[in-house]
Amino acid sequence: MGNQYRYDVIVVGAGHAGTEAAAAAARLGARVALLTGNLDTVGQMSCNPAIGGVAKGQIVREIDALGGLMGQTIDRTGIQFRLLNCRKGAAMHSPRAQADKKAYQFDIKRQIEETPNIELRQELVEDLITETLASSTQIRGVRVRGNAEYLADAIVLTTGTFLQAIMHTGEAKTAGGRAGEGTTSGISQAFARLNFRVERFKTGTPARLNGRTIDYTKTEMQPGDERPQAFSFLTDALTESQLPCWITYTNQSVHELIRANLHRAPMYTGQIRSSGPRYCPSIEDKVVRFADRDRHQLFLEPEGRNTKEIYVNGISTSLPRDVQDQMFRLIPGLENAQIMRYGYAVEYDFCPPDQLYPWLETKRIGGLYFAGQLNGTTGYEEAAAQGLVAGANAALRLQGKSELVLNRDEAYIGVLVDDLVTCGVDEPYRMFTSRAEYRMMLRQDNADRRLTALGYKLGLVDQARYLRFTYKLEQIELAQRALAALRVGDIPGDKYLKRNEVTWGNLLEQFPESLAAFPEEIGLQVEYDIKYEGYVARQQVQVQRQERMMDKKIPSDFDYLAIISLRNEAKEKFSRIGPVNLDQASRISGITPADISLVLAYLENPKLSNKKTPVAGPTDGETE
């Protein structure tokens, strides 16, 4: 057939998830078609022109450690770099960078175009092609506008906010998933036909202003770090000049204007009924939920080196245009600012992620993978991480190899994916350090030591990166030996460094002849390892306990309904989510230790399903 094209892997959508998915699959040798509705928006930053942040920065370092695109790209195109939480311990340090928005987008597109095994095509996908076999349904391809077909045995969907999307600005509603772009309904219709659960979320974005019309004398300057830290483990130094950001605040006049116009705000009129990100509320939500606050902080962030456009972080809104006009005139420094783009909210379809396996393949359709906002997440970093995992697993599936599943003690990416597929989402998901119970082990500085060897084993990391990594490990070992050989009085140097007030820099000043040969990066790794040694040892005990639970595998056809004493709620959740082991089962919301004990008993003795009495002690008293 003339309008059919055959590939190993097809990736639909070329945002942060799609580009990482395509690149990961290609690194593993798959021939990839990356399909996008608009070639001019590959890798586009739809909202905030920034990468990283608290916990998100850790994810970017992990993506980079696995050979991904995001870290090196932001290092090349960043305009301001800051390490957040520097006053806290190293486990809380999180890199963040403002990006030159267009430079970042073009750099990602260039990398995709230059990557062997990837063909980038502008196509609008309208349907999914599947085949029902004796016991399962498999993906076979996608149908695009114009009635052409792209065929593959593994497909990754990264559709962002474009599924049946509607943009809201006050009473005005426009079809589209991003300003200036359209929407699509074909994939949503395919989901309905294939019996996927589909729900809707909402997100929003603030206005953009012309920086030429801002009075910066009324704002506070926020410079970048004097010694900026790179994201990629391959970047030796950041040498480009940095641009400042600025800070201003809302005030009571702004709040009164918003309150007076809540009857025109889509979130309060019932025009928008979907859940939005609670941790990143609109300015309307802030004014209502935090009524006692007399002001809210706003960050004025440049969108690039060659534009005057300013992103106003902290004032996401879907208020009508005339209200936005009035609102900015009341903010110090913005009284005469020209709005270049108005803020808006967007509602879109997503698929609750408890319909996925931990390797991001759908349970309903074999070979079909979901990543990014389609899974109910928000944020470039969360999307890119899912894309890398899904793309890698699509290629590994075709090679008949085991899936890439990162555990919660291995990576923030592991926490992210496990949270999604185990607990689902009731609001757009964002990563926080508090979500990671092993965050003392998951520092941003040691992401390569946790993941690069695994990436090399799988084929995600090339030999040049791996050799550089092994040299770093050798240097760390030599530095540890040199430190242990020193004496501060009667105390060995490594023991002395355990003291809170002592740093590698202190010992370097005292023993330059022994330590000066080691780069600062190596010294800090040694310092952090020593200072966190006790915390890590305690967390390792917890990890071992978790691993024992992980070893208790649950067959995919396990019949929870046969466990007579199991609560109905537990039967429903276990059956719907289908945990792969007891460890995952234990983290399902609402599941009790008694539920886990019952499942374990039946796993070890299936004959118990014929008995009519409880086998693992009392439950919580609910028989329903």
Query: Which pLDDT does position 569 carry in this prediction?
Result: 93
Measured CA to CA, the distance from residue 345 to residue 328 in angstroms comes to 18
Cα Rg for the chain, rounded, in angstroms?
A: 26
Beta strands in 112-207 (DSSP E): 118-122, 125-132, 137-144, 148-151, 154-157, 166-169, 172-175, 199-205
Q: Listing from the earlier edge strand, what are the strands of the sheet with 148-151?
A: 4-6, 148-151, 137-144, 125-132
Give bridge partners of residue 595 from the DSSP assignment. Answer: none
Q: What is the CATH number of the domain that holds 117?
A: 3.50.50.60
State both tokens at 564.
Answer: 């007579």
- CA distances to 32, 102, 159, 339 from 35, rounded to whole Å, are 10, 20, 10, 33
Residue 24 lies in a domain: yes
Which residues, 6 or more positions from 260, have their beta carbon under 8 angstroms from its beta carbon? none
pLDDT, one tens digit per residue, over 564-604 is: 889 999 999 999 999 999 999 999 988 998 999 999 988 88
Residue 449 lies in a domain: yes
In the chain, the amino acid numbered 411 is: A
- Per the CB < 8 A criterion, the answer to whether 9 and 156 are in contact is yes
What distance lies between CA 410 and its chain's CA centroid?
15
Residue 278 lies in a domain: yes
Taking the C-alpha atoms of 600, 605, 608 and 610 in order, what is their torsion angle to the nearest 10 degrees?
130
Domain termination residue (choose one: 405, 431, 457) = 457
Domain termination residue (choose one: 282, 314, 344) = 344
Shared domain for 124 and 266, answered yes or no, is no
Residue 489 backbone dihedrals phi, psi, to 5 degrees? 70, -125
Residue 518 lies in a domain: yes
Query: Which pLDDT does position 275 carry in this prediction?
Result: 81
Shared domain for 495 and 512, answered yes or no, is yes
- Which residue shows structure tokens 């270049």? 340
Residue 369 lies in a domain: yes
Residue count of the chain: 624
Residue 615 lies in a domain: no
Output the CA torsion sign for 284, 286, 289, 293.
negative
Shared domain for 234 and 324, answered yes or no, is yes
Which residues, 6 or more positions from 497, have their beta carbon under 8 angstroms from its beta carbon? 483, 503, 504, 507, 526, 527, 530, 531
pLDDT, one tens digit per residue, over 181-203 is: 888 899 999 999 999 999 999 99
**Helix (DSSP H) and strand (DSSP E) numbers for the chain:** 21, 24
Domain of residue 472: give its range.
Answer: 462-538
Shared domain for 360 and 418, answered yes or no, is yes
Burial of 40 (0-12, 13-18, 19+ CB in 10 A): exposed
Domain termination residue (choose one: 344, 371, 401) = 344
Shared domain for 139 and 171, answered yes or no, is yes
Q: Which residues of the chain fall below pLDDT 50? A: 610-624
Q: What is the CATH number of the domain that holds 519?
A: 1.10.10.1800
pLDDT, one tens digit per residue, over 466-521 is: 999 999 999 999 999 999 999 999 999 999 999 999 999 999 999 999 999 999 99
Shared domain for 340 and 371, answered yes or no, is no
Would you tell me how many other CB atoms lie within 10 Å of the CB of residue 416?
28
The stretches of 199-342 forming alpha helices (DSSP H) are 252-260, 266-269, 283-289, 321-329
Shared domain for 52 and 125, answered yes or no, is yes
Q: What is the CATH number of the domain that holds 266?
A: 2.40.30.260
Of 620, 615, 543, 614, whose CA–CA distance to 583 is shortest?
543
- Per the CB < 8 A criterion, the answer to whether 7 and 151 are in contact is yes
Shared domain for 87 and 104, answered yes or no, is yes
Measured CA to CA, the distance from residue 511 to residue 504 in angstroms comes to 10
- Per the CB < 8 A criterion, the answer to whether 411 and 450 are in contact is yes
Residue 624 lies in a domain: no
Shared domain for 199 and 212, answered yes or no, is no
Give bridge partners of residue 245 from the DSSP assignment. Answer: 222
Is residue 574 within a helix (H) or strand (E), and if so which, with residue range?
helix 568-577
Shared domain for 358 and 251, answered yes or no, is no
Query: Which pLDDT does position 1 carry in this prediction?
Result: 52
Q: What is the CATH number of the domain that holds 564?
A: 1.10.150.570
Shared domain for 320 and 353, answered yes or no, is no
Measured CA to CA, the distance from residue 617 to residue 599 in angstroms comes to 12
- Per the CB < 8 A criterion, the answer to whether 313 and 299 are in contact is yes
Residue 383 lies in a domain: yes
Would you tell me how many other CB atoms lie within 10 Å of the CB of residue 465?
20
In the chain, the amino acid numbered 138 is: Q
Shared domain for 36 and 143, answered yes or no, is yes
Measured CA to CA, the distance from residue 28 to residue 10 in angstroms comes to 14
What total number of domains does the chain contain? 4
